[in-house]
Amino acid sequence: MTPAQLNAQFGIAGQLVFEEGQGGLTFARIDNAQGEAVLCLQGAHLVSWRPKDQAEPVVWVSDLAKYAPGKSIRGGAPVCWPWFGAHKTESGFPGHGYARTVPWAVTGSAVLADGATEITLTLIENDQARAQWPHNTRVELRAVVGAKLTLSLTTTNQGDAPVEIGEALHTYLRIGDIGEIAITGLEGCTYLDKVDGGQRKTQAGAVTCTGEVDRVYVNTTAACVIEDARLKRNVLIEKTGSAATVVWTPWTEKADKMGDFGPDGWRRMVCVESANAADNVVTVAPGQSHTLTAVYSAQTL
């Protein structure tokens, strides 16, 4: 659908407008009394979110992010689905699945009772997707933008055999400085340390960063808090339907290699990802649905 058609069917006066933006991609701009956000229809990729009581956005996007058909955007909240990280057997398949780089269709929009704005999207299957994922599934992303941000990813198995999915809401959170944050909520958890050959380790105390961190914490349904001394705020990440949490910062060398962080962009973000990955991939029975939900909020200290 064109932006004009989307506006006619799903636009909400003063709150939700669709427009063509960088790379010829279509974006939904949401602005209400409580918050503002931008969402790219490619990938159902929330690009940014700022609650109105915060001077700084809570969801970070790189100044050097590339917006182009078939490319993932550096920052925001990439939807990793239907696998997380590398595909189990096919090294040629894209990391974190294909959902984040294909077009999604808008299927609904609404103003909720508390004034927040809701938008719902469904992944559009194409031949490339079918070749990599020969299953009959429907996947939907629901975003609610207000003083809090809610992202819900629902997979419905429409086939007649169980399907196994890995997934993550790979959210990049804006922070003051990567060296000055502490992430609580993962104390005592087992994690797979991807910067140390995938070894299993146990988290002692809060997570702090002094170099690259790439960890899949397994068997954890707990909320996490990013304590941000520089921005003087706590960012709370609550979740349901998610048994793994991924923490990632590329640090300087990896960020330089990736090329789309800018000179110090990597210092201003950390990913705390609500996931089902590694030990915690999910099996969805025929006719059943599974929903992963993450709710983000910020509290000024």
Judged by the rule CB under 6 A, the positions of this chain that interact with ligand BG6 are 72, 95-96, 170, 194, 214, 246, 248, 273
Distance of closest approach, residue 70 Cβ to ligand BG6, in angstroms: 14
E strands within 162-229? 163-165, 167-169, 172-174, 181-184, 190-193, 199-202, 213-217, 224-228
* Single-letter amino acid code for the residue at 294: A
Nearer to ligand BG6, 59 or 116 (CB): 59
Q: For 45, which DSSP code?
A: E
Please provide the size of the chain in residues.
301
Coil/strand/helix, residue 60: coil
Nearer to ligand BG6, 3 or 262 (CB): 262
Distance of closest approach, residue 95 Cβ to ligand BG6, in angstroms: 4
Nearer to ligand BG6, 14 or 198 (CB): 198
Residue 268 near residue 214 (C-beta atoms within 8 A)? no
Beta-carbon count within 10 A of 262 CB: 15
Distance of closest approach, residue 85 Cβ to ligand BG6, in angstroms: 6
Residue 7 has which token pair? 């506006």
* Single-letter amino acid code for the residue at 223: A
Distance of closest approach, residue 212 Cβ to ligand BG6, in angstroms: 9
Nearer to ligand BG6, 80 or 144 (CB): 80
Residue written as tokens 């960063």? 209
The neighbouring-strand residues paired with 37 are 30, 49
Nearer to ligand BG6, 6 or 226 (CB): 226
Beta-carbon count within 10 A of 274 CB: 30
- Angle of CA points 7, 173, 169, to nearest 5°: 65
Distance of closest approach, residue 251 Cβ to ligand BG6, in angstroms: 11
Nearer to ligand BG6, 49 or 248 (CB): 248
How far from the centroid of its chain's Cα atoms is residue 32's Cα? 21
Distance of closest approach, residue 107 Cβ to ligand BG6, in angstroms: 26
Residue nearest to ligand BG6 (CB): 248
Q: For 190, which DSSP code?
A: E
